Amino acid sequence: MRPDKLPSSDFRMIATTFVGLEEVLAGELLRLGAKNIESHNRAVSFYGDEGFMYKANLCLRTALRVLKPIYTTKVVNEEELYDEIQKINWDRFMKVEQTLAVSAVLNTENFNHNQYIAQKTKDAICDQFRAKTGKRPSVDKDKPDIGIYLFIFKDEMQLMLDTSGVPLYKRGYRQVADVAPMNEILAAGMILLSGWDARLSALYDPMCGSGTILIEAALIAANIPPGYYRQDYCFKNWPDFNEELFEKIYETVINRIRNVPVDIIGTDISQQVINKAKENAKAAKVDDMIRFVQGDFFETSFGLEKKYTLITNPPYGERMKKEDIFAFYKQMGDTFKHKYKGSTAWVISSGKDAMKHVGLRTSRKIVLFNGGLECRFCKYEMY
Ligand SMILES: C[S@@+](CC[C@H](N)C(=O)[O-])C[C@H]1O[C@@H](n2cnc3c(N)ncnc32)[C@H](O)[C@@H]1O
């Protein structure tokens, strides 16, 4: 039900995210000025106006996409679904020349094949256009002009427009990736979960790979919106897109970028990987904020001269023998303990057994997913 006392220009939206990042996303939405925020499983709902929809897409670091519900009703079988989709006047949302993609998420006993139901929904939309114009819109699954999400929970269906399009983790700065690059949303979420404050500690990823954690940390410190690099959003293809309002919001958000003194450091054992990370940082225009050093974490010492927040995603699996992995994690824990007294380390890994070998007391443990892999994100405080 719509909450009272909201201006009529406000509407409900849903930002989706990864498991474990719901509260971080809700916090981001609160700081941006969203109203009536509610956390759900892998999603956060909120209210805002059209301008806020643009702002959310430009600024949210931990959202996968922002959806706008347009129609809710009850359906129990395919025929009803088809009829309900046909009741909507699709001219309001797209032109026949535009491409579309439909995704379906089902949590019901009445329907069971997501892809089949998505196709049925797409057919109902296309049939309406064909009846009116003699033409059918084409499908583009990767980069549609208009993205549509259908959720069916028990006998209730909700149709939503995807305001974002290509998922928001595709910031547009990644040039090259090497060994298992981390998803940008996950990296940003880990930094926000760690509570890192650039004024209080340096941020150090000792096994930085393609540099995702470091780049996202630089964006956070300098208040650079993740949408800074990106041109395309589905809402730009809508018939009612307000370009003037979007430009105004984009400018306001860009004007908040600040020049701050930060110390963000990345090391990796491979020079080739470091070179690639540097290229990514350059593309993100934050290369002057990050110190990249090639080196073995166990031999490198930035030492005790200041306080560090170490955040890292050490290798796991990658054809290493079990004993080697356990020894590696033990050596990592020893290095934290001996070389980073007074600092805090956060480690994400899917290696549950390996994490036991770090040998330090875990002061916080959060379940997150890296791709499909269930991981533990653990905090260690080195007194
Ligand atoms: C899982 S990847 C990190 C991925 C990274 N988070 C990203 O977004 O691309 C692990 C990295 O640790 C590096 N590495 C392995 N052993 C190391 C060591 N002893 N010291 C420093 N880096 C190491 C590997 O070269 C690899 O790039």
269 in contact with ligand 1, CB cutoff 6 A: yes
In the sheet that holds 11-16, the strands lie side by side as 35-40, 43-48, 11-16, 65-74, 156-162, 146-153, 100-107
Lowest-confidence pick of 43-52, 71-80, 277-286, 293-302: 293-302
Check if 210 has its Cβ closer than 6 Å to any atom of ligand 1: yes
Structure tokens at 372: 């499909």
State the Cα torsion 142-143-146-151 to the nearest 10°. 30
The tens digit of pLDDT for each residue in 325-342 reads 999 999 999 999 999 999
Q: What's the distance, Cα to Cα, between the start and end of the chain in Å?
A: 50
State the distance from the centre of ligand 1 to the C-alpha of 59, rounded, in angstroms: 28
Q: Which atom of ligand 1 is nearest to the CA of 316?
A: 1
Q: Is 70 near ligand 1, meaning CB less than 6 Å away?
A: no
C-alpha triplet 74, 78, 84: angle, nearest 5°: 45
How would DSSP label each residue in 269-284?
A: S-HHHHHHHHHHHHHT
What's the CA gap between 209 and 149, in Å, rounded? 34
* pLDDT at residue number 174: 83
Best substitution site from 203, 204, 269 to test ligand 1's pocket, by max atoms within 8 Å of Cβ? 269
Q: How confident is the model at residue 300 (pLDDT cuts 50, 70, 90)?
A: confident
User: 173 CA distance to ligand 1 centroid (A)?
Assistant: 20
Phi first, then psi: give them for residue 275, nearest 5 degrees.
-60, -40
Structure tokens at 82: 């088809």
What is the residue with the minimal CA distance to atom 3 of ligand 1? 209
Q: How far is the CA of 274 from the centre of ligand 1 (A)?
A: 10
Which is nearest to 229 in space by CA: 153, 272, 171? Answer: 171
Q: Is 311's C-beta closer than 6 angstroms to any atom of ligand 1?
A: no
Of 233, 223, 224, 218, nearest to 265 (Cα)? 218
Question: How crowded is residue 149: how many other Cβ atoms within 10 Å of its Cβ?
Answer: 22
pTM of the shown model: 0.95
Q: Return residue ranges of the chain for CATH 3.40.50.150.
A: 184-228+258-381
- Site to probe by mutation for ligand 1, drawn from 207, 216, 264 as the one with most ligand atoms within 8 Å of Cβ, is 207
Cβ of 45 less than 6 Å from ligand 1: no
Q: What is the pLDDT of residue 322?
A: 84
Domain with CATH 3.30.2130.30 in the chain: 11-162
What tens digit of pLDDT does each residue of 147-198 get? 999 999 999 999 999 999 999 999 998 876 655 689 999 999 999 999 999 9
Distance 89 CA to ligand 1 centre (A): 52
Please give the backbone phi and psi of residue 347, each rounded to the nearest 5 degrees, phi first. Answer: -125, 130
- DSSP, residue by residue, 356-380: HTT-S-EEEEEEEEETTEEEEEEEE
* Residue type present at position 313: N
Burial class (CB in 10 A: 0-12, 13-18, 19+), 371: exposed
Residue 102: name the closest of 158, 152, 148 by CA. 148
Q: Whose CA is nearest to atom 17 of ligand 1?
A: 269
Ligand 1 centroid distance, CA of 197 (Å): 24
For the CA of 206, the closest atom of ligand 1 is 21
Q: Which residue has the higher pLDDT, 180 or 262?
A: 262
Please report the atom of ligand 1 found closest to the CA of residue 298.
19
**76-127 confidence digits (pLDDT tens):** 999 999 999 999 999 999 999 999 999 999 999 999 899 999 999 999 999 9
Tell me if 162 CB under 6 Å of ligand 1. Answer: no
Residue 21 binned pLDDT confidence (cut-offs 50, 70, 90): very high
The CATH number for 11-162, chosen from 3.30.2130.30, 1.20.120.420, 3.30.2320.30, 3.40.50.720, is 3.30.2130.30
How would you classify the pairing of strands 43-48 and 362-370? unpaired
Taking CA atoms, 194 is separated from 40, 155, 232, 313, 348, in Å, by 21, 40, 30, 14, 12
| pLDDT surpassing 90 at residue 131 | yes
Widest CA span in the chain? 73
Asked: is 184-228+258-381 a CATH 3.40.50.150 domain? The reply is yes
Choice among 217-221, 282-286, 322-326 with the minimum mean pLDDT: 322-326
